[in-house]
């Protein structure tokens, strides 16, 4: 799930198995290339196990080193455009302040650019955080997202965009299906009485 374009968001990562070097926690853009093993790659903003940080400007000194069982908190402020990392509830300071100005869409990232195994567990709020999120920050999970304008209830008008219509066929005559309520862009037709496949139609 992408980090929303506004608001303050928090998640944690706890490594359970570490490589000798080059493990990273942070964010990657929607253009991130997982085969690009370089700390100068501009599509990520990361906190490296050595304590350095990295983005398109390379790897530079930042905070404390981290290892197995350390709790790495990630605080993403999309209103201010800042990214702050925490090690065991201690802020390492603002790592980056260009999240908004970069114009990128950001996703949580755990990556290993070296040899060895890097494993761990993300916590996006599906269970209690190891440490309380910074003031004003919310867990990066769907329950904290705004109510969608298209949804499953009459108040969110789902039937204005999706509908199911059951009809009795008149084969081989032409069939007129009514009652959809709008002009569909995509139609999925399935017989409930014959053992035949589905028919899928795109208006384009």
Q: What is the pLDDT at residue 173?
A: 87
CA atoms of 154 and 166, how far apart (whole Å): 20
Look over the chain and give the mean of its residue pLDDT values, rounded to a whole number: 90
**What would the DSSP string read from start to end of 94-162?**
EEE--TTTTT--EEEEEEE-SSS--EEEEESSSS--SSPPPTT-EESSGGGSPPPSS-SSGGGTGGGT-
Q: What is the pLDDT at residue 154?
A: 60
195 DSSP assignment: -
Mean pLDDT, to the nearest integer, of 33-60?
Answer: 82
Neighbouring C-beta atoms of residue 48, cutoff 10 Å? 23
Q: Across the strands, what pairs with 14?
A: 121
**pLDDT of 148 strictly over 90:** no
User: Nearest-CA neighbor of 107 among 34, 176, 158?
Assistant: 34
Six-digit token string for 31: 């253009």
Q: What is the CA radius of gyration of the chain?
A: 24
Residue with tokens 């080193």: 65
Q: Which residues contact 108 (CB under 8 A, 6 or more apart)?
A: 3, 11, 13, 27, 28, 74, 122, 124, 140
User: Nearest-CA neighbor of 147 among 155, 135, 139, 159?
Assistant: 155
Q: What is the pLDDT at residue 152?
A: 65
Under the banding of pLDDT at 50, 70 and 90, the label for residue 38 is low
Under the banding of pLDDT at 50, 70 and 90, the label for residue 89 is very high
Q: What is the pLDDT at residue 153?
A: 65
User: What is the total residue count of the chain?
Assistant: 204
Q: What is the pLDDT at residue 137?
A: 98
Q: What is the pLDDT at residue 40?
A: 56
Q: What is the pTM of this model?
A: 0.74
Q: What is the pLDDT at residue 39?
A: 56
What is the distance between the terminal CA atoms of the chain, rounded to a whole angstrom? 29
Mean pLDDT, to the nearest integer, of 43-57?
Answer: 92
Under the banding of pLDDT at 50, 70 and 90, the label for residue 42 is confident
């Amino acid at each position: 799930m992408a980090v929303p374009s506004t608001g303050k968001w928090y998640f944690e990562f706890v490594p359970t198995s570490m490589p000798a070097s080059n493990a990273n926690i942070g964010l990657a853009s929607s253009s991130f290339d997982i085969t690009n093993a370089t700390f100068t790659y501009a599509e990520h903003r990361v906190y490296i196990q050595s304590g350095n940080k990295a983005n398109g400007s390379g790897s530079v000194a930042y905070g404390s080193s981290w290892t197995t069982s350390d709790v790495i908190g990630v605080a993403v402020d999309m209103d201010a455009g800042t990214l702050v990392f925490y090690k065991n509830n201690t802020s390492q300071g603002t790592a980056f302040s260009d999240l908004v100005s970069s114009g990128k869409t950001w996703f949580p990232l755990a990556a290993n650019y070296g040899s060895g195994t890097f494993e761990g567990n993300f916590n996006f709020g599906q269970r209690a955080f190891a440490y309380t999120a910074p003031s004003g920050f919310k867990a990066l999970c769907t329950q904290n997202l705004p109510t969608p304008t298209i949804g499953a209830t009459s108040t969110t008008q789902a039937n204005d965009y999706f509908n199911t219509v059951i009809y009795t066929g008149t084969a081989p005559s032409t069939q007129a299906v009514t009652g959809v309520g709008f002009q569909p862009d995509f139609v999925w037709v399935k017989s409930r009485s014959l053992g035949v496949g589905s028919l899928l139609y795109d208006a384009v």
